[in-house]
Structure 1
């Protein structure tokens, strides 16, 4: 007979009620912060507005009021787009790290950034597009094709093969990046300027034409990721254990990869390549609420949204009357933060 001593009992894990209470508290704080940041993003800019202006524009819109037109056509759609982009990248980062079982994986490993860059470069140089909504379509097609190629080369049909997936993504990203550079270098100055405006990562000039398709894509991707949370928990234990629990690793991999492509592709198409959100948000979420995906995913979504909103607001005020692209500001904020996180404590295990 085995005797279980008090020393043999693992008391490190919090009880379920405590875990749920912690999750509710973290999400409540995160949602409140995101809501306040959306308000701040809507009123801060070259022309400063007030929360009262925002409230009146929403509840009693006056088409003859310049402030109402600015808020409803530019500021508020931009704030919502920043929220969607951050949430998408945060969730995609969680799924990508789970797929590869790699704590430094991020959505760009599936080649979506490089594919989107080729799509934008080709459309600018060959077609001469200038509208943000046209950038969105071209980038989305490029991201989808690149993601599908990486998943096929990475052996998604055979199930879990993290090393092969990472190698396939890295190799294809290099090839596509070189192709984008060739297209841009051989174009004229206007082609370079248009591509650069997208490549730095920016939310400026995005309106309802970009917001609507982004919201649809990100919504689909988030639903897919949340529905996969339990399967990802099982798949992270290894293919043999997952099969014993009734999970088919190949199916989980394929659907999860599709979710990453939809989320990261939609976000990149809308705002350009934005780094560190899909890398930092999952780690902070894991430290706050643990490694269960049904808790980590919504937390990472809120953290990613908050990071992009903060970066977008700061980008408008650090260099008036111009602004710094959100992609640059996220790198400035997220890079040192992630380095500090790594130096101060070990990364939470997957």
Structure 2
């Protein structure tokens, strides 16, 4: 027991150090490079008369914090979906939740304009939930039921359809939807800290629900019948998991737009060093997801510097090959 706790402390310390490193690099790198030492100085002792301190606090730190929150939210969502469905290919993007949330936000923005901001997480949650329900209904109606392959195909079909509708809406009203064009590719750029306040309750609800069901999800991996025999309330666990996934996905979409493959890649990477116990998979998915999106956003800013590419394009470029490998390995 003592050795296990020491091992956990070691893993946690390593992840904390990695996040701190990527956080410092994320703030340091940009159009104007700021030495890491100056970054720590600005964080510890802010001086309003120093320009670099203003850049750190008002521009770069909000972006880094949003990257961490979004990465953690999507990674935990993917871990929960894979655990509940026992589907290694489950992911908010592949099963249509990201497309549904984005579609709902676009429709809401078209109807109410910027007035939608206070309720954007709620609107995105409704869209994600509706898309998920539609995907599972289609997959269940297919021959053989909701198998991993039918879920992925149904999710791809729904995502493609909703993406086409979004594109058509943008073409019909390019002027009003211009500011959503970059957001729909998935981006951390732009100061969205004003959105964070509206998302915090949803993020808190999602993370708390995920931690509450983590232990029971491990039992569900052995099948519903076995879990019931172990005293697990399967229906309650699935409802709480759905609440967590929808809340976290909606918040992530509100803050950054749709970022694909994070919920697919990170849980599998986490299981390589913590095993299949969801008491560890869930929190470590949050930590690794936060570090991963910090790293990806750094790549998006420096890969074609001085041009910045959308973070969502980088997550897709990195995640697509992993998805192909996973399909070949698991199906």
The TM-score bracket by the shorter chain reads 0.7 to 0.9
Structure 2 residue aligned with 1:182: 168
Determine which of 116, 125, 143 is the counterpart of 2:124: 143
Q: Secondary structure at the match of 2:272?
A: helix
Question: Which is richer in helix?
Answer: 2
Aligned residue-pair number: 321
Determine which of 214, 222, 226 is the counterpart of 1:241: 226
Structure 1 residue aligned with 2:290: 305
Determine which of 283, 288, 301 is the counterpart of 2:273: 288
Q: Secondary structure at the match of 1:104?
A: coil
Structure 1 residue aligned with 2:66: 81
CA contact (8 A) 1:86 1:307 kept: yes
Alpha-carbon distance in 1 for matches of 2:89, 2:326: 12
Alpha-carbon distance in 1 for matches of 2:8, 2:31: 38
Q: Secondary structure at the match of 1:107?
A: coil
Alpha-carbon distance in 2 for matches of 1:215, 1:309: 19
Q: 1:170 to 1:231 in 2, by over 3 A?
A: farther
Determine which of 236, 241, 262 is the counterpart of 2:247: 262
| TM alignment of 1:24-43, pairs within 5 A | 24-43=9-28
User: 1:238: how far off?
Assistant: 1.5
Q: CA RMSD in A?
A: 3.0
What TM-score do the two structures reach when normalised by structure 2?
0.85
Q: 1:19 to 1:146 in 2, by over 3 A?
A: farther
Alpha-carbon distance in 2 for matches of 1:191, 1:118: 15
Alpha-carbon distance in 2 for matches of 1:275, 1:136: 24
Alpha-carbon distance in 2 for matches of 1:149, 1:317: 37
Alpha-carbon distance in 2 for matches of 1:215, 1:264: 13
Task: Tell me which structure has the larger Cα radius of gyration.
Answer: 1
CA contact (8 A) 2:98 2:128 kept: no
User: 1:40: how far off?
Assistant: 0.8
Q: Which residues of structure 1 form unaligned runs of 5+?
A: 1-15, 156-160
User: 1:330: how far off?
Assistant: 1.7
Structure 1 residue aligned with 2:40: 55
Q: Which residues of structure 2 form unaligned runs of 5+?
A: 138-144
CA contact (8 A) 1:54 1:71 kept: yes
Bigger CA drift: 319-328 or 104-113?
A: 104-113
1:271 aligns with 2:256: yes
